[in-house]
Amino acid sequence: MSTENQPLSEGQYHRGGADDLRSPCPVVNSLANHGYIARDGRNITASKLKAALESIGLGFDTAGGLVKVAFQDHVDPPEGTPRSSANFGLRDAGQVNEDGEPVLNLDQLGRPHAIEHDVSVTRQDRELGDYIHLNPDLYQQFLTSSSNGESFSISDVGKLRKKRFDESKRDNPELELEKRMHYIACAEVGGLICVFGKGLYHVPKDYIQAIFGEERLPYAEGWQPRWTKVFLPEAGAVTLAISHYAWPF
């Protein structure tokens, strides 16, 4: 991958093209667009993904746990059994690179019966359309959900998650969101709050526009990775706080 015949350096932003693979997660896509993982979204090793997640501020336990789960072999639930009987693994059995290392492609993050879920903040439900790419209407709804118009707090994103659940319940007769997927969804936005939040967990609006609108890490807007990493106790506490506002059951 290069631009104007000059190779791109790690950290340099260049948005992926039509032949590059991307996931439903804008942060992971941003890591690819900056070259912290493979820019084409293919054959990503566990060590490379873990290092990339740690580079933006996740602790070794948080990053390691996410990668360990993702790199398990994917197993669909038996027909007629609940989705919750599936595992969260994303790889195909035997999926390795030329060196025999297990690898993952970014589009596999969107495979059904794994960590991909309905009621995304900026993606449609699987039964309603494109669940991989940014939905412009949902994105605009996200941008207008800030209570102060300048940043996004724990309560802002939690209330938005609850609103999205109500919308999906109304529009999607095939809605799937049991409690464990609810917590995963809250953990996703919780990670966003922890990694990109300023002060008492407020993410500036221009950070959100960079991450979701351009799939770019907001260095130009002043963001820098935290000095203290996001370890599991903090991530769990923020997830529970978001769940309080988002609880749909």
Looking at residue 6, its pLDDT comes to: 75
State CA 191 to chain mean position distance.
Answer: 9
pLDDT of residue 5: 60
Query: Length of the chain in residues, anyone?
Result: 249
**Tens digit of pLDDT for each residue in 38-67?**
999 999 999 999 999 999 999 999 999 999
Q: What is the pLDDT of residues 77-126, one digit of tens each?
A: 777 665 555 567 899 999 999 999 999 999 999 887 677 888 999 999 98
pTM: 0.93
- Cβ atoms of 115 and 131 within 8 Å: the answer is no
H or E element at residue 204:
strand 203-204
pLDDT digits (tens, 9 = 90+) for 220-244: 999 999 999 999 999 999 999 999 9
Contact 181, 114 (CB under 8 A): no
DSSP letters, 107-135, are GGGG-TTTT--SS-SSS--GGGS-SSSPP
Round to whole Å and give the CA distance between 240 and 246.
10
Domain range 26-246, CATH class: mainly alpha
Whether the per-residue pLDDT at 158 is higher than 90: the answer is: yes
The per-residue pLDDT for 182 is 94
Give the tokens for residue 83: 């989705």
What is the structure's pLDDT at 19?
96
The pLDDT of residue 117 is 85
pLDDT in tens, 171-222: 999 998 889 889 999 999 999 999 999 999 999 999 999 999 999 999 999 9
The partner residues of 103 in beta bridges, in order of sequence, read 45
